[in-house]
Amino acid sequence: MQPTGSSIAWLMEELGKLPGIGPKSAERITHYLLNTDVKNVLALADALRDVAQNVRRCRQCCNLTEGELCDICSDPKRDPNIICVVEQARDVASLERASAYRGLYHVLHGRLAPLEGVGPDKLTIDALLQRINQHSVKEIIMATNPTLEGDGTALYVSNLLAGTGANITRLARGLPSGSGLEFANAQMLADALEGRRAF
Ligand SMILES: [Zn+2]
């Protein structure tokens, strides 16, 4: 809803909430939008409305999708016996670009961060446990980011999965420590998958 300020101030405020956009960038983008063809601005508004209304979580893996099941879960050529657990939907995109993995995914939608108040209930851990109880799998690859919180999340989830009978593995080291999957190139991700080891 529009706050009490002007339309321009409102737009700058909303843009300023985006990651990596400070007040200066918000002001620059606002003025760009005010000077560009109105058709482009309305197309951007339409695209924003469209993703907000149509994109949801896959019923099985919690990846982002416009249908009930995402493209990966509905692909009969994917191996349902392996699940790769990642923090974010953008990590699925990174791993898919590496073309080195033919199993399914599970998107946690975050990582455990006790100091920020992100506990297990904020992630899709329950859905993962339910999924594995319903369809047993051979291997679960913990592909959370190689950060303190990513490692902590992998440890927490793997402890919960210990009794399921699945082999639990972790991506090989070699990804830049403290960084995220999204910053790794395709070859690094393929190597990390190839060299995965027992958790
Ligand atoms: Zn899915």
Question: May I ask the CATH architecture of the domain 69-198?
Answer: 3-Layer(aba) Sandwich (3.40)
Q: Indicate the residue type of 198.
A: A
pLDDT at 57 over 70: yes
195 vs 51: CA distance, rounded Å: 36
**What are the residue boundaries of the structural domains of the chain, listed by start?**
7-54, 69-198
Nearest to 101 by CA among 110, 91, 109: 91
188: phi > 0 → left, psi -120 to 50 → alpha, else beta; which?
alpha
As residues whose CB is below 5 A from the ion ligand 1, the structure lists 58, 60-61, 63, 70, 73
Give 74 Cα–ligand 1 centroid separation in angstroms.
Answer: 7
Give 93 Cα–ligand 1 centroid separation in angstroms.
Answer: 12
Nearest to 185 by CA among 97, 88, 90: 97
Contact 125, 160 (CB under 8 A): yes
Give 92 Cα–ligand 1 centroid separation in angstroms.
Answer: 10
Please give the model's pTM, rounded to 2 decimal places.
0.83
Give 4 Cα–ligand 1 centroid separation in angstroms.
Answer: 41
Q: What element of type H or E holds 50? A: helix 38-54
- Rounded to an integer, the average pLDDT of 12-24 is 95
pLDDT tens digit string along 24-45?
A: 999 999 999 999 999 999 999 9
Q: Tell me how far the alpha carbon of residue 107 is from its chain's centroid.
A: 6
Give 68 Cα–ligand 1 centroid separation in angstroms.
Answer: 8
Per-residue pLDDT at 190: 87
12 vs 91: CA distance, rounded Å: 29
Helices (H), 74-194: 89-98, 125-134, 148-161, 186-194
Nearest to 15 by CA among 5, 6, 7, 25: 25
Range scoring the smallest mean pLDDT among 115-129, 132-146, 176-190: 176-190
Beta pairing, strands 56-57 & 64-65: antiparallel
pLDDT tens digit string along 70-125?
A: 999 999 999 999 999 999 999 999 999 999 899 999 999 999 999 999 999 999 99
Which one is predicted more confidently, 81 or 172? 81
Per-residue pLDDT at 1: 61
Give 135 Cα–ligand 1 centroid separation in angstroms.
Answer: 14
Contacts 24+ apart (CB under 8 A), 71-77: 72/96, 72/104, 72/105, 73/104, 77/102
Please check whether the domain covering 7-54 is classified as CATH 3.40.50.1110. Answer: no
